[in-house]
């Protein structure tokens, strides 16, 4: 049996941290699963790390289906979450449901969508029809042309309050998990304390229920300027499985992220 959302919910109740990485293919999926990762995210970040694009906006539904199938074939224990790509869910709850069904059929157990209250109806529509939804707030890369850059979100009193409200609305609408990207650690802590669903942070401090990183980033493979929230786990490891095991241990022990990796 694969890890279920219920298992992750129980981990939150027993204060066990959840360790997640992105994954896009069968070989890495098997390695990550055997190294103790709780869930895999087939992220639309594959647009950046696999396709060499500057944004995630050109990733297609077919791309996400292809990579979800690969990850599903490489695993039998971990929970698989797949990003719905830009354009595949924003138009209407009905469109979102139609496309989410294809992602679930490809082997994901949960879909992730970006956005706050604007996505509340869609979250409710999908969850009521049997599709678990992970919401994603804070830095939402599919809104890049609005945000004007990959910048810290929720750093004013007003925007922090808005994000807390968005989180509550998404939980109330049925979201089973919440990803919080690039927000102050203090705000992420407050949201985590307020909600009962698992909160998964990336650049959101170590008070979240769990953490996610892009696998290529934590293996030190990504080129260019390294965002603050990334730690290269290959520096102290002899192999990829060892680096992933160290990531899992560091997340579980609350050692990652430390103050140098948060805002
Ligand atoms: N390889 C990769 N890793 C990611 O984490 C990632 C992707 N791709 N693609 C989609 C989005 C884009 N993301 C990004 C990209 C850059 C920053 C960044 O440069 N952040 C700086 C500035 C923060 C600030 O001062 O406001 C940082 O130091 O963290 C953050 C998130 C996160 N996601
Ligand atoms: C960075 C994570 C949360 C993501 O959405 C992705 O990998 O696409
Ligand atoms: Mg994404």
Q: Mutual orientation of helices 26-34 and 240-252 as an angle, nearest 10°? A: 50
Decide: helix, strand or coil at residue 26.
helix
How far, in Å, CA of 82 to CA of 108, rounded?
A: 6
**CA nearest ligand 2 atom 4, residue:** 43
> Which residues define the annotated binding site for Mg(2+)?
44, 83, 114
Longest CA–CA separation in the chain, Å: 48
Query: What is the tens place of the pLDDT at every residue in 140-173?
Result: 999 999 999 999 999 999 999 999 999 999 999 9
Q: Is 171 a catalytic residue?
A: no
Closest C-alpha to 234, from 249, 251, 248, 217: 217
What is the pLDDT at residue 40?
A: 98
Name the average pLDDT for the chain: 98
Q: Domain range spanning residue 32?
A: 5-261
DSSP H stretches of helix in 173-209: 185-194
- Position 1 confidence tier, pLDDT thresholds 50, 70, 90: confident
Q: How many domains does the chain have?
A: 1
Q: Is the CB of 22 under 6 A from ligand 1?
A: no
Expressed in angstroms and rounded, the spacing between residue 43 Cα and the centre of ligand 2 is 5
Q: What is the pTM of this model?
A: 0.98
Sequence-distant (6+) residues with CB within 8 A of 106 are 64, 65, 68, 69, 72, 82
Q: Is the pLDDT of residue 39 over 90?
A: yes
> Is the confidence metric ipTM above 0.90 for this complex?
yes
Residue 17 DSSP symbol: P
Q: Give me the CATH number covering residue 137.
A: 3.20.20.60
Q: Is the CB of 140 under 6 A from ligand 2?
A: no
């Amino acid at each position: 049996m694969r890890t279920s959302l219920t298992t992750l919910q129980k981990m939150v109740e027993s204060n066990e941290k959840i360790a997640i990485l992105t994954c896009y293919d069968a070989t890495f999926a098997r390695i990550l699963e055997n190294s103790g990762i709780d869930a895999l995210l087939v992220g639309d970040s594959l647009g950046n790390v696999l396709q060499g694009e500057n944004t995630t906006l050109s990733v297609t539904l077919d791309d996400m289906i292809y990579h979800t199938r690969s990850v599903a074939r490489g695993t039998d224990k971990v929970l698989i979450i797949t990003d719905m790509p830009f354009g595949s869910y924003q138009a209407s709850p009905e469109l979102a449901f139609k496309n989410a069904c294809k992602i679930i059929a490809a082997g994901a157990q949960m879909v992730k969508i970006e956005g706050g209250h604007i996505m509340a109806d869609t979250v409710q529509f999908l969850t009521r029809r049997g599709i678990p939804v992970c919401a994603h707030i804070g830095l939402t890369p599919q809104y890049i042309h609005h945000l004007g850059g990959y910048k810290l979100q929720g750093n004013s009193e007003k925007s922090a309050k808005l994000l807390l409200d968005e989180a509550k609305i998404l939980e109330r609408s049925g979201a089973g998990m919440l990803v919080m990207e690039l927000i102050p650690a203090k705000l992420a802590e407050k949201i985590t304390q307020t909600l009962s669903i698992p909160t998964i942070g990336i650049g959101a401090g170590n008070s979240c229920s769990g953490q996610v990183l892009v696998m290529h980033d934590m293996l030190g493979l990504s080129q260019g300027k390294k965002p603050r929230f990334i730690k290269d786990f290959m520096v102290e490891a002899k192999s990829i499985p060892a680096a992933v095991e160290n990531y899992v241990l560091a997340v579980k022990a609350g050692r990652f992220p430390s103050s140098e990796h948060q805002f």
